[in-house]
Structures are given as structure tokens and as C-alpha cells.
């Protein structure tokens, strides 16, 4: 069995295990451990986050948790670093170790074929738009971009830049939670003035994220359409 096939089987097994095991309980226990060990918590949190990204687990809960555990400033820096490192690891796995497996998974998705052509033509711009747009799932996108011709340095920098708005929003949401229960129930503050300030900040952050996302989605669709039209002209 080839190294690529072995790695692909291992990844599939880890992903299945991740979705069948009590992940939520483990995350809650991990958050409690972080609070009890603040000195090394940030480094362990980054490692935990990177592993979650590579295993294609949704990172929203961890991003919320970073805001709750570390606050808006430190939480944003930690998640920004961790998500970029995780995305880079997945990119390298997709490019060098599990290329055939990733290509097989993406073969039934015409949109990813258009993405490959668009990246070849516009490179950094298309990668940035995919990061800002919800049209492509974040975890799968990390592996998919590994199959494209985008240079590693470009991928790392543009991914880091494009993930910032979403990271800021989720970290902010986590930072205004009073406890772990409030993190999921929406109980943000107790005083009227505090509630007003918190909701104003949330509204501003959410509005900015929506505006950026809508712009990115429209621009990305235009880039993909242009790429498809260019291919049709070349083949005719």
C-alpha cells in the first residue's frame, strides 16, 4: 500500500472517530484545563486548534472558546496564528501526501475544477476571495488549494489575511460570554449599559463581516465564470 493511500485511510479514520466520539464534552474539559493552566495554555490551545483543522473539524467552537478564555486581543492573535498554521499543514498534506485522495473527493465537485482554473489565472485574488466567501467549506478548502498551482508563501499570507474578519467575529462573540453556559446560550451581559455596548459592537462586527462576505461571494462567482468562459473559448 502506498504512503498516500495509508495516510488517506488514517485521515478518514480520524475524521470518523472525531464525529462519533463525545467531542463537545472533551472540548469543555479542555477549556476547563486551559483555565487551570494559564501559563502554557496558549501553546497547548494552538496545538489543539491545529489538530482540529487538519482533521477537518469545525473550528467555530474553538474560536469562540479562544475569545472566552483569552479575551478579544489575545484570542484573536492566538486563533489567527493557529488557523493559519492548521490551514498550512492541511495544504501541505493535500499537495504532497494525500493528493490522489483529495483529488478523488473533489472530482465530483465541478466548482472546485473551476476554482483550480481561476487560481491558475488570478492566484492570490481568488484565494483571498475563497477565504472571505462561505461558498467553499474552510476545512475542505485547505486540502483543495493544495492541488492548485498557488505558491505556498502566497497561500499562507492570503489565507491569514482572508480569515481575519470571521476570526474577529467569532472571537468577539466568545469574549463577551460570562461563562461557558453563556457561550452557547447568548447571555452576554447583566447591566443595561453593558448590554447596549456589547450589542452595538456585535452589530458593527457582524455588519462588516456580512458586507465583506457578500462582496467576496459576488467577486468569486465572477472570477469563476470568467475562467469557465476562457476555457470554452480555448476549446472551441
Q: What b/e readout covers 53-87, taking b as 16+ CB neighbours within 10 angstroms?
A: bbbbbebebbbbbbbbbbebeebbebbbebbbbbb
User: Which residue, chain included where needed, has cell 450589542?
Assistant: 199
Question: How high does pLDDT run on average in the chain?
Answer: 75
Check whether 134 has a pLDDT greater than 90.
no
Q: What percent of the chain has pLDDT over 70?
A: 61
Cα separation of 222 and 228, whole Å? 10
The predicted model gives 127-139 an average pLDDT of: 76
Cα separation of 112 and 220, whole Å? 12
Q: Which of 12-16, 64-68, 82-86, 204-208 has the highest mean pLDDT?
A: 82-86
pLDDT per position as a tens digit, 101-126: 777 777 666 667 667 777 777 778 87
pLDDT per position as a tens digit, 20-42: 656 667 777 888 888 888 888 89
Reported pTM: 0.70
The DSSP annotation for 81-144 comes to: HHHHHHHHHHHHIIIIISHHHHHHHHTT-HHHHHHHHHHHHHTHHHHHHHHH-TTS-HHHHHHH
Q: Tell me what pLDDT residue 168 has.
A: 87
Q: Tell me what pLDDT residue 191 has.
A: 44
What is residue 176's three-state secondary structure? coil
Check whether 50 has a pLDDT greater than 90.
yes
Cα separation of 134 and 219, whole Å? 12
Q: Give the residue, 155 or 119, on which the prediction is more confident.
A: 155
Cα separation of 62 and 15, whole Å? 17
Sign, Cα dihedral of 92, 98, 100, 104:
negative
CA 5 to chain centre: 25
Phi then psi for residue 41, to 5 deg, are -60, -40
Comparing C-alpha atoms, which of 3, 4, 2, 229 is closest to residue 117? Answer: 229
Amino acid at each position: 500500500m502506498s504512503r498516500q493511500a495509508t495516510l488517506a485511510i488514517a485521515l478518514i479514520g480520524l475524521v470518523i472517530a472525531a464525529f462519533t466520539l463525545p467531542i463537545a464534552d472533551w472540548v469543555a474539559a479542555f477549556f476547563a484545563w486551559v483555565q487551570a493552566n494559564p501559563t502554557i495554555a496558549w501553546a497547548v490551545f494552538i496545538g489543539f486548534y491545529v489538530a482540529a483543522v487538519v482533521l477537518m473539524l469545525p473550528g467555530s467552537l474553538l474560536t469562540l472558546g479562544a475569545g472566552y478564555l483569552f479575551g478579544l486581543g489575545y484570542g484573536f492573535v492566538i486563533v489567527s496564528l493557529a488557523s493559519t498554521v492548521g490551514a498550512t499543514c492541511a495544504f501541505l498534506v493535500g499537495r504532497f501526501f494525500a493528493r490522489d485522495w483529495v483529488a478523488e473527493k473533489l472530482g465530483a465537485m465541478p466548482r472546485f475544477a473551476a476554482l483550480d482554473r481561476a487560481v491558475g489565472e488570478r492566484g492570490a485574488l481568488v484565494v483571498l476571495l475563497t477565504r472571505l466567501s462561505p461558498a467553499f467549506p474552510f476545512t475542505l478548502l485547505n486540502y483543495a488549494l493544495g492541488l492548485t498551482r498557488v505558491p505556498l508563501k502566497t497561500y499562507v499570507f492570503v489565507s491569514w489575511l482572508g480569515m481575519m474578519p470571521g476570526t474577529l467575529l467569532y472571537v468577539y462573540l466568545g469574549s463577551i460570554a460570562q461563562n461557558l453556559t453563556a457561550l452557547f446560550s447568548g447571555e452576554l451581559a447583566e447591566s443595561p449599559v453593558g448590554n447596549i455596548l456589547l450589542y452595538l459592537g456585535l452589530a458593527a462586527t457582524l455588519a462588516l463581516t456580512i458586507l465583506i462576505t457578500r462582496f467576496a461571494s459576488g467577486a468569486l462567482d465572477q472570477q469563476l465564470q470568467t475562467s469557465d468562459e476562457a476555457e470554452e473559448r480555448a476549446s472551441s
